[in-house]
Structure 1
């Protein structure tokens, strides 16, 4: 299927990227400038900024409560942004949609970003928040049942790595993982996956941009051969929690996400891979206002409820 016409229209109207090296501060400021004011955001019963007290330090979080029920399942959400972009604000609409659609209390993680913070600072923050959420479940109003981890793009990388850390630590409280077009192999050799060639240019995220965008993370000590950096390189995937992996037809990262799903199934993990036709990388963040892509939140709901 061709790229969705609305997506194609938006991409065609985007200005050309500036010449020269990437400037994290300028790119972050540009993203923050696009965030609508709170009064214009999707309504949620309650939204609260808080601090997660983890074993490795304090981590800012934003907690979204979907309704007035006394207890909820929990979903820890990890935003994307190539490990150096994104914030609680830029991905606020995803967290709100997840809370509204799933009925779970969402804890969004304001983890430390590259390049100011070297690997594994961001991953440590994400894992620490998951452990804090489980340990402080009473304070969060956790019902003790669902504890899901979800992330988009590089947030999906972290979500997959968090489930691996948990398994290795014997921490068995994570019940589900949801990975939206995850970056699971940070070796960007175009010979590795057909989608890196088929979707190389013209669909938003471009294959030629993967290395420079991820350089801020990799140059800070994240080794692409490390399974905590490239979760698809983990030899033993058995015992990981059930997974929903959402991929996009026109995404350079499509094939690694789908291969990871196949490998999870081979390891005996209940894994669902769902490819969205006509979509490119980032569609949950940028195009979930289109009904056919908002369906990703509905699919997440059904997956978490065991439908």
Structure 2
């Protein structure tokens, strides 16, 4: 199907990108200016800002409690933003929607960003907060069951990398991984996946923009050949947590996400790949107000509630 008309309308209204080098400070300020006022946000039982004390230092987290209960499953959420954008505030609405739909207590991770924090700072923060959550289950009222991780775009990169590192280190508590239109191959050779050419221009995220947007991360020491940077390059995917991978029809990154799902299944991992027709990269964060795209939260809830 064609690009959803509401998405097309928004994209047509956007100004042409400014020329010259990307300025993280300016771009972050522009993102923060779009954050909805507190009174307009989805209401939950409780939302609390805390600091997770981890092996790599203190990491800010925001905890979303959907309802009053004696115990909860936990969902750790890593926001997107090409490793240099995004924050607890810019993706607050995503975390709230995940909590509302799943009924899980959501812990959104305010990990360190490039270029100020060199690789692997952000990845370490995400991994260590997952360990922190498991170690502090009593205070978090964790029910000892679901300990899921989810992320969008570059947050999806961190999901795959955290799941792999946890497996390698013998930390087997992660029950599920959810990747929304993930970036899994930071090589960016345009001939690696057909979607890099098919969706190269006109859909928001453009293939030509992948290198400059990810340059802050790669220039900070992240090697695209490293499977913790490009998780699709990991040779052995067996033993990883079951996965839900949600992709967008009009996304340059579509095919690498779908190929990753195929490789997980080939390795014996339960993996569901779900492509959203008419959607573009970022639709969960940017266009979930469109009913057919809000279904991504319901699909996530269904996946997380399924028995093994």
Shorter-chain TM-score bucket reads over 0.9
Q: Tell me, in whole angstroms, the C-alpha distance in 1 between the residues paired with 2:67 and 2:262.
A: 36
CA drift at 1:304: 0.3
1:207 match: 207
The Cα offsets for residues 28-52 of structure 1, whole Å up to 9 and x where unpaired, read as 0000000011111011110000001
- Describe the SS at the equivalent of 1:47: strand
In the alignment, structure 1 residue 219 sits paired with structure 2 residue 214: no
Q: Tell me, in whole angstroms, the C-alpha distance in 2 between the residues paired with 1:271 and 1:102.
A: 19
1:290 match: 290
Q: Pairwise mapping of residues 103-118 of structure 1 onto structure 2 (< 5 A)? A: 103-118=103-118
CA drift at 1:19: 1.1
1:257 match: 257
Q: TM-score, normalised by structure 1?
A: 1.00
Q: Pairwise mapping of residues 43-82 of structure 1 onto structure 2 (< 5 A)? A: 43-82=43-82
The Cα offsets for residues 83-116 of structure 1, whole Å up to 9 and x where unpaired, read as 0000000000000000000000000000000000
1:100 match: 100
Q: Tell me, in whole angstroms, the C-alpha distance in 1 between the residues paired with 2:50 and 2:140.
A: 11
Q: Tell me, in whole angstroms, the C-alpha distance in 1 between the residues paired with 2:169 and 2:66.
A: 31
CA drift at 1:121: 0.2
Q: Tell me, in whole angstroms, the C-alpha distance in 1 between the residues paired with 2:118 and 2:70.
A: 39
CA drift at 1:160: 0.5
- Describe the SS at the equivalent of 1:237: coil
The Cα offsets for residues 185-229 of structure 1, whole Å up to 9 and x where unpaired, read as 000000100000000000000000000000000000000000000
Q: Tell me, in whole angstroms, the C-alpha distance in 2 between the residues paired with 1:39 and 1:89.
A: 14
Q: Tell me, in whole angstroms, the C-alpha distance in 2 between the residues paired with 1:61 and 1:283.
A: 24
Q: Tell me, in whole angstroms, the C-alpha distance in 2 between the residues paired with 1:288 and 1:299.
A: 13
2:32 match: 32
CA drift at 1:306: 0.6
Q: Tell me, in whole angstroms, the C-alpha distance in 1 between the residues paired with 2:25 and 2:90.
A: 14
Unaligned runs of at least 5 residues, structure 2: none
- Describe the SS at the equivalent of 1:30: helix
2:154 match: 154
- Describe the SS at the equivalent of 1:249: strand
1:127 match: 127
Q: Tell me, in whole angstroms, the C-alpha distance in 2 between the residues paired with 1:281 and 1:221.
A: 26
The Cα offsets for residues 259-293 of structure 1, whole Å up to 9 and x where unpaired, read as 00000000000000000000000000000001100
- Describe the SS at the equivalent of 1:278: strand
1:303 match: 303
2:275 match: 275
CA drift at 1:70: 1.4
Q: Tell me, in whole angstroms, the C-alpha distance in 2 between the residues paired with 1:280 and 1:144.
A: 36
Unaligned runs of at least 5 residues, structure 1: none
- Describe the SS at the equivalent of 1:294: helix
- Describe the SS at the equivalent of 1:107: strand
1:246 match: 246
CA drift at 1:56: 1.0
CA drift at 1:297: 0.2
Q: Tell me, in whole angstroms, the C-alpha distance in 1 between the residues paired with 2:272 and 2:112.
A: 30
The Cα offsets for residues 230-275 of structure 1, whole Å up to 9 and x where unpaired, read as 0000000000000000000000000000000000000000000000
Q: Tell me, in whole angstroms, the C-alpha distance in 2 between the residues paired with 1:199 and 1:100.
A: 32
Q: Tell me, in whole angstroms, the C-alpha distance in 2 between the residues paired with 1:149 and 1:291.
A: 24
